[in-house]
Chains A and B, each alone.
Chain A
Amino acid sequence: MKKASTNKSTTFSDGLKEGKINKCRRIRGWLHEALRSHFSLNADWVQNHIANCPKCQRRFSSVSRVNLALSLIKSQPHKLDLLMRANTQAIGVLKHSLREAPKAQKLKAMQPEPKLLEICSIHKHSAANVAACIAILFLMKTGIFSFTDTVQTQGQKAVKQYYINQVGEDLASDIFHG
């Protein structure tokens, strides 16, 4: 009896805990949302303040200059054979057995290759379009078949009802169920 009551109390306390956790999660979500809407760079009061504050404007422009410089550095291309040359130079100072390894020969002729994700990202839009088309076709097909089934069953029911009304239930059941 005692055991049952303790079990009940534990489940009750667990439920309370879960409820609290869920409540916490919800409150955290609201807080996050509220903070984001009030304190993000796109908030109206922030935009208005920046438009009228020369100090903030200066800060903003200097940060954007750093970002511009970073993106300029990133966009600067190097020669395609740089990896090959770097590998050759690095392998040249390693010990003889490593220099002569077949992998080393491969590395000496290695060229930078785009990652699988980068390759896939080129075909991302077309893949999404194909997937969307397939999904639409599938939905259409399912919809059409279910619609035909519904029409068939409804039709059968209507005809059966008609026969029941006209010739009686026994004869109608004989006709429809053989």
Chain B
Amino acid sequence: MFGQAVTYGRVLEFAISETIDKSQQWILSAMQRHGPELVTMLWRILGNEQDVCDAYQNTFLQLAHYQNRQKPKHIKAYIFRTASNVAVSMLRHRIAERERLSITIVPKKLISSPANEFDSKCLQETLRCCIARLPEYLRNVITLRDLAELSYTQIGRMLGISAATARVYRCKAIQLLSVWMSKKEREIQ
């Protein structure tokens, strides 16, 4: 009798695990559907291939463990926001590490021509540093609009704001970035 109960228990456990596994197939579907766009966005935020892979892995790991392995309502929004947050925290960590090692990431002279690769890389790094410093509501818009190339309507839906508000936030973000970047340039000079 006891043996039979154990067997039934095992069968039930197996069946439950199978249903969970089946329901989690959506993770692979999400990876297939949004993976390329996500990699592009992460590459643009981080600019380092290994970091991109780490952030990507972290994002899908968080997705797999989201609220007792449940499927989020708006997967695309969840994935993009998580990936952006993960990437920005990695970026901040990288900046802090560089500052700790007292390596100046900005060279003495800012960009003179886009053809000069070294200078253009520094300009990109400066922008990345400034993006990491932005307040969350502005950073979300700038990463989703300019780095993930999503439309304002999509961004609005993802962040729970209107498309017009997203537009205004982007404008503010650009203004702030321009002020910070010129300040950095002046500091160097």
Contact = CB atoms under 8 A, between A and B. Distances in A.
**Interface residues of B: mostly helix, strand, loop or mixed?**
helix
A89 interface: yes
A94 B178 contact: no
A63 B182 CA distance: 9
Interface residues of A, number: 38
A112 B41 CA distance: 13
**Interface residues of A: mostly helix, strand, loop or mixed?**
helix
A68 B178 contact: no
Contact of A107 (B35, B57, B175): B35
A98 interface: yes
A98 B24 contact: yes
Nearest to B146: A70
Contacts of A92: 57
Interface of B: 21, 24-25, 27-29, 31-32, 35-36, 39-40, 42-44, 47, 49, 52-54, 56-57, 59-61, 64, 111, 114, 120, 123-124, 126-128, 146-147, 149, 174-175, 177-179, 181-182
Top-8 shortest CB links A-B: A62-B178, A69-B127, A97-B21, A86-B56, A62-B182, A90-B60, A90-B57, A103-B28
Interface of A: 58-59, 62-63, 65-70, 72-74, 76, 78-79, 82-83, 85-87, 89-95, 97-98, 101, 103-104, 106-107, 110, 112-113
